[in-house]
Amino acid sequence: MKEKASIILHCNAVTVEFDGFKAVQGMDFELKRGELRFLIGPNGAGKTTMLDVICGKVRPTAGKVLFKGSVDITRKKEHAIAELGIGRKFQTPSIFHTLTVFENLEIAMSQNRGVFATLRARMRNEDRERMMNQLAMIGLEAKAQWRAGRLSHGEKQWLEIGMMLLQEPEILLLDEPVAGMTDKETDKTGELLHAIAKKRSVVVVEHDMEFVRNFASKVTVMHEGKLLKEGSMDEVQGDDRVAEVYLGKRRDADAGRTTA
């Protein structure tokens, strides 16, 4: 019973079909409160699709997703799921490019999101302070008034992470947050992630093994839409099947990355 209460997200036998093609097949997944979990697997394994299911972007063909043990979010709309406290960062940075950095944070901040509330909303001092702190954390203080579309790739990713944090979700879903980043940017993102994971449950999809090894966290390996292995990084790397499907394909993935 105690065990159960600490589980914040429970995916039960989730299957997703796209025109007959099963991108995810009977996937089980459990996330504890405050846990940082890595989700890895070769290209096309279904990792992004799994996150899509959790945040409501894709409806599973079968299976269930329970939030906090009792709230069934399988059929809820995206904005309702976001309001419940599940934040999502997409694979490509998606920020609002004609809004300034500050404005991006402003609308992301946790608040009443109804039309009449935003029509009357005033910037309170405590809100401003929160946003300023967030700006400092993601290192974009000097660019607060920049149009977000002009930020560099890495800065956009951080802005998006900052937006998600101001949203104050209980679960953060991050899809390849360091893809396309320089080594320096990757290190900085790693620090950000450490700070974030102290307070929230986080699921990170990542290809970069070096990056994953920086965290002493549980790793879930997916392959062809199924759960292949779950355990510590050492356990996962010692597993023969993982070595076969994942590390064997690693070269392709890396090759793909350099051309991307």
Partner 1 sequence: MELQMRTMTPQRILVLIGYAAAAVALFCAPLYLSDFRLNLLAKFLAFAIVALGLDLIWGYTGILSLGHGVFFGLGAYAMAMYLKLEASGGKLPDFMNWSGLTSLPWFWKPFGSFGFAVAAGLLLPALLALVLGFFTFRNRIRGVYFTILTQALVIITTTLFIGQQAFTGGTNGVTGFGTLFGQSLGKAETKQILYFVTVIALFAAFVLCRYIVGSRFGRVMRAIRDGENRARFIGYNPAVYQMLVFCVSAALAGLAGMLFVLHVGIISPSMMGIVPSIEMVLWVAIGGRGTLIGAALGAILMNAAKSTFSESYPELWTMFLGLLFVIVVVFLPKGLAGLFPQIKLRKRRGMEHEGEGVHYSAL
Ligand X SMILES: Nc1ncnc2c1ncn2[C@@H]1O[C@H](COP(=O)(O)OP(=O)(O)OP(=O)(O)O)[C@@H](O)[C@H]1O
Q: Which residues pair with 147 in a beta bridge?
A: 100
Under the binding rule (CB under 6 A), the answer on residue 92 touching ligand X is: no
C-alpha–C-alpha distance, residues 229 and 219, integer Å: 8
Q: How far, in Å, are 95, 97, 166, 222, 257 from residue 42 at the CA level?
A: 27, 31, 32, 8, 12
Under the binding rule (CB under 8 A), the answer on residue 126 touching partner 1 is: no
Under the binding rule (CB under 6 A), the answer on residue 104 touching ligand X is: no
Under the binding rule (CB under 8 A), the answer on residue 98 touching partner 1 is: yes
Under the binding rule (CB under 8 A), the answer on residue 124 touching partner 1 is: no
Under the binding rule (CB under 6 A), the answer on residue 93 touching ligand X is: no
Q: How far, in Å, are 7, 79, 99, 208, 210 from residue 183 at the CA level?
A: 34, 34, 28, 11, 11
Pick one of 8, 9, 11, 23: the residue that binds ligand X (CB under 6 A): 23
Q: Compute how many residues bind ligand X; rule: CB under 6 A.
A: 11
Q: Which residues pair with 205 in a beta bridge?
A: 39, 175
Pick one of 59, 75, 77, 153: the residue that binds partner 1 (CB under 8 A): 77
Q: How far is the CB of 131 from Mg ion (least distance, A)?
A: 30
Q: How far, in Å, are 33, 56, 70, 168 from residue 200 at the CA level?
A: 7, 20, 19, 9
The pattern of x and - marking residues 32 through 71 that bind ligand X according to CB under 6 A reads: ---------x-xxxxxxx----------------------
Under the binding rule (CB under 8 A), the answer on residue 66 touching partner 1 is: no
Q: Which residues bind ligand X (CB under 6 A)?
A: 18, 21, 23, 41, 43-49
